[in-house]
Amino acid sequence: MSINSKNFKSLSILENILIIGNGGRENSLAWAIQKNELVKKIYLIPGNAGSERINKCERIKININNQTDLVEKLNFLKIDLIVIGPEIPLANGLADLLRKKGFKVFGPGKDGAKLESSKSWAKEFMKDANIPTSNFWKVNSLKEAKKIIQSSTIPLVVKADGLASGKGVFIPDSKDECLRAAESIFNGKFGNSGNVIVLEEKIEGPEVSVFALCDGQKFILLPTAQDHKRLKEKDKGPNTGGMGAYSPAPLLTDDYLDKITKEIIEPTINELNKKNIDYKGVIYFGLMLTKSGAKVIEYNCRFGDPECQTIMPLMDKSFVFLLEKCAMGKLTGSEKIDTPDKLSGCVIATSKGYPNKYKTGFPISIGKIDATDCQIFDSGTCFSKNGELLTDGGRVLSIVCQDKDFDRVFDKAYKNLKEIDFDGIYFRNDIGHQVRKNFSTEN
Give the residue with the Cβ less far from ligand AMP, 161 or 298. 298
**CA distance linking residue 377 with residue 48, whole number of Å:** 10
Helix 24-33 vs helix 319-328: crossing angle, to nearest 10: 100
SS3 call for 7? helix
Does position 23 interact with ligand GLY (CB under 6 A)? The reply is: no
Pick what 216 binds: ligand GLY, ligand AMP, none; C-beta below 5 to 8 Å, kind-dependent.
none
> Does the footprint of ligand AMP cover residue 179 (CB under 6 A)?
no
Choose which of 1, 142, 148, 171 interacts with ligand AMP (CB under 6 A).
Answer: 171
Which residue from 120, 224, 300, 351 is in contact with ligand GLY, where contact means CB under 6 A?
300
Alpha carbons 413 and 107: distance in angstroms, whole number: 31
Q: Does 207 bind ligand AMP (CB under 6 A)?
A: yes
The strands making up 244-247's β-sheet, listed across from edge to edge, are 226-227, 244-247, 343-350, 395-403, 374-378
Decide if residue 9 touches ligand AMP (CB under 6 A). no
Nearest to 186, CA basis, from 173, 200, 202, 199: 199
203 binds, among ligand GLY, ligand AMP, none (CB under 5 to 8 A by kind): ligand AMP
**Number of residues in contact with ligand AMP, rule: CB under 6 A?**
14
Report the C-alpha gap between 317 and 302 in whole angstroms.
21
What is the three-class DSSP state of 128? helix
Q: Does 286 bind ligand AMP (CB under 6 A)?
A: yes
Pairing outcome for strands 156-160 and 169-170: antiparallel
Contact between 231 and ligand AMP by CB under 6 A: the answer reads no
Per rule CB under 6 A, is residue 116 in the interface with ligand GLY? no
Minimal distance, residue 286 CB to ligand AMP, in Å: 5
From candidates 229, 395, 433, 436, binder to ligand AMP by CB under 6 A: 229
- Residue 307 CA to residue 287 CA, distance in Å, equals 14
Q: Which does 242 bind (CB under 5 to 8 A by kind): ligand GLY, ligand AMP, none?
A: ligand GLY
Output 5 or 290, the one with its CB closest to ligand AMP.
Answer: 290
Question: According to the binding rule CB under 6 A, does residue 304 interact with ligand AMP?
Answer: no
Nearest approach, Cβ of residue 234 and ligand GLY (Å): 19
Contact between 281 and ligand GLY by CB under 6 A: the answer reads no
304 touches which of ligand AMP, ligand GLY, none (CB within 5 to 8 A by kind)?
A: ligand GLY
Contact between 307 and ligand GLY by CB under 6 A: the answer reads yes
CA distance 220 to 388: 41
For ligand AMP, the closer CB: 50 or 168: 168
SS3 of 198, please?
strand
Which residue in the set 96, 227, 324, 392 belongs to the binding site for ligand GLY (CB under 6 A)? 227
Smallest gap from Cβ 298 to ligand GLY, in A, equals 8
Residues in the chain: 443
**CA–CA distance, 287 with 370 (Å, rounded to integer):** 34
Radius of gyration of the chain (CA): 21
Q: Does 134 bind ligand AMP (CB under 6 A)?
A: yes
What gap in Å lies between CA 220 and CA 330, rounded to an integer?
12
Residues that bind ligand AMP (CB under 6 A): 134, 157, 166, 169, 171, 200, 202-203, 207, 229, 239, 286, 297-298
